[in-house]
Structure 1
Amino acid sequence: MENFDWKSTISLNILKLKAVGLWPKEDETYKRNLYSIWTGISVICFIFAHNFFQAVNIIFILDDLEAVTATIFLNLSTMLGLLKSYYMIKNMPILKHLMVTLNSDTFKPKNLAQHQLVEPDLRFWKLIYTLYWGMSLGAIFFWATFPILDKSIKDHRLPFMAWYPFDTTTSPAYQITYIYQIVSVIFVATATLSVDTLIAALNMYIGAQLDILCDDLRHLAEGPNFNSKLLDCVKHHKEILKFAENSNKFFDMIVFLQFFISATSIGITLFQLTVVSWHIYSDI
């Protein structure tokens, strides 16, 4: 099917990556242009700096164990976004090559039946994408509005504990810093979630290609040119293996960091439970 485009399924995901500077146009990689400047601003000013100011704040609250563990927990999440952005930029040539391979004639469904065969995979990815973003948008909303809902905004509390080289308790510094933190967490979340859902899409594409290959093998004996169709299946299989190998090269370190930092975050959360004061429940 000549008009079939695998990338159309993840078009919204690609648009979000473009917005935060993590997807150069078309099939290009990073060049010396305005978009690369925007990538630098996005990653350094909003993702790295947001993480840096929270990390520096740990030095000033070392005597408060609960505050330190809470800050480290959030700091690890934002640091993961920074690391994912770095590996996304570093492995961009591999990723763009994967996109070119994906839309080659070998990988396209050959008829309407194969198109319908891969539709459930595409719909399932869209469902996961919607659920993932829905839950994440809820977390971003409560992070951004917590000082307002908690009424601690009158005490000039920020959504995230962080150190800045200026007084954030005066106007308009407080309002500017508040908005900066909200914008930064949106950038971090967009980069992190978009990379995660892109990895899920790559794995979904591999599964869909295997479904297409199996369908070709089932109908191998139908019609003439058996040898030619068999050779096409062998070529397709080799291309799938190469696609899977390149996909692993792209996201293996990202997935490792995800598991490592997630495990560390779970450990910190369990530690926080041990320092919770239970005396308020003693009379229950």
Structure 2
Amino acid sequence: MFDFKLTIKTNIYFLKLLGLWPKNSYDFNWYTLYTLLLNAIIASDNIGQTANLFFVYVDFGSLMGTIFVLFTNWCASIKASFFIYNIRYLKTLMKKIDCEEFQPKTRHHENLVLPTLQLWKMIYYLFQILVGVTTMLITTYPVIDGSIRRLELPFWAWYPYNTRQSQLFQIVYFYQLFCVWCIAFTSMNIDMANTSLMMFVKAQCNLLCYNLKNLNNYNNCFNAKLLACIKHHKKILSFANIANTFSNEILLTQFFTSTVSLGLAMFQLSLFAPLSADSYILLFYIVAIIDEIFLYCWFGNEVEHAVSIFLNTRKNNSK
């Protein structure tokens, strides 16, 4: 059998690490407890930063600087919540992808599928590098500009204790670093899991189009091959419908928060001097947000293109 899930092996590994990939479902077990604990830690950091808005609302620049980060953080938490809630759909899709109708039957079928899988894999690692570099710049900036020596945290947040005490500052500092790395890779891996579903749909459409184009080559078993194509088509439609159900709320959250965060980040960029360290960090942040939106648009367009080829092939065959 051709293992489609091998392409997203790294993606699944990170989802497991982030508490987003249970064995079957979220039952009463240690993994569910780990997921709840991890999400509670991240949510508490978001709440602390949200509470800080009541202390900086008189300073417009500080307010905007806090809000655009908050939108990204809450976006990741909300996406993770929808991901956990709809995990049953994703598990169903992972079973469907191994069905007989989706399996490449010949070496040429594999050659049709592999470019799409390899493209997704390459984009995954490039996006992972971009997110890693951006998060590294954000978390190391207090060291670069010397604010860490003044006991200033990477992110403005309210805590019910004095974080400027040396030991407490170190604990809170590493707590914020842990949260921002979890948030960044949670958001990134959820996005790539969604685009992987689009990739699978495109790959199956390519296989179906090839089989339809070559129906006339099967003179002795034309009806059997046509019936196989019909079953394959129904399986693709079923897979796509479940994928849409799984991704709807996540995509709505992503596009809304990314658009708002992008506008706020551009405004924040206008407050800094050109070629300053702050401007470079914001530029990387803006590129990462644009890349998140671009990924959905790219793979969505790839699916539309594959579907249009299928419709043209079906039209030609009917003639």
TM-score range for the pair, normalised by the shorter chain length: over 0.9
Match of 1:186 in 2: 181
Cα-to-partner distance string for 1:11-63 (whole Å, 9 max, x where unaligned) = 000000000100012xx111111000001011111x21121111111111111
Match of 2:20 in 1: 22
Match of 1:73 in 2: 68
Where do residues 172-183 of structure 1 align in structure 2 (5 Å cutoff)?
172-183=167-178
Which of 126, 140, 144 matches 1:131? Answer: 126
Could you tell me which runs of 5 or more consecutive residues in structure 2 were left unpaired when the two chains were aligned: 275-319
Cα-to-partner distance string for 1:236-281 (whole Å, 9 max, x where unaligned) = 1011011111111111111111111112123323444566689xxx
Deviation at 1:108, TM superposition (A): 1.2
Which amino acid in the other structure matches residue 177 of structure 1? V
Indicate the structure with greater helix content.
Answer: 2
Give the 3 Å change call, closer, same or farther, for CA 151–273 of structure 1 in structure 2: closer
Query: How far apart in 2 are the matches of 1:190 and 1:273?
Result: 24
SS at match of 2:231: helix
Query: How far apart in 1 are the matches of 2:206 and 2:17?
Result: 33
Query: How far apart in 1 are the matches of 2:134 and 2:247?
Result: 25
Could you tell me which runs of 5 or more consecutive residues in structure 1 were left unpaired when the two chains were aligned: 279-284
Deviation at 1:171, TM superposition (A): 2.0
2:196 corresponds to 1:198:
no
Match of 1:265 in 2: 261
Match of 1:231 in 2: 227
Give the 3 Å change call, closer, same or farther, for CA 274–19 of structure 1 in structure 2: closer
Query: How far apart in 1 are the matches of 2:79 and 2:39?
Result: 11
SS at match of 1:168: coil
Deviation at 1:105, TM superposition (A): 1.2
Give the 3 Å change call, closer, same or farther, for CA 140–269 of structure 1 in structure 2: closer
Match of 2:31 in 1: 35
Which of 10, 13, 31 matches 1:12? Answer: 10
Where do residues 139-150 of structure 1 align in structure 2 (5 Å cutoff)?
139-150=134-145
Q: Percent identity?
A: 37
Query: How far apart in 1 are the matches of 2:70 and 2:135?
Result: 15
Match of 2:113 in 1: 118
Which amino acid in the other structure matches residue 17 of structure 2? A
Under a length normalisation based on structure 2, what TM-score does the superposition of the two structures give? 0.83
Query: How far apart in 2 are the matches of 1:270 and 1:143?
Result: 16
Which amino acid in the other structure matches residue 244 of structure 1? A
SS at match of 2:21: coil
Give the 3 Å change call, closer, same or farther, for CA 119–21 of structure 1 in structure 2: same
2:255 corresponds to 1:248:
no
Deviation at 1:88, TM superposition (A): 0.3
Query: How far apart in 2 are the matches of 1:32 and 1:272?
Result: 44
Query: How far apart in 1 are the matches of 2:127 and 2:79?
Result: 17
Match of 1:282 in 2: none
Under a length normalisation based on structure 1, what TM-score does the superposition of the two structures give? 0.92
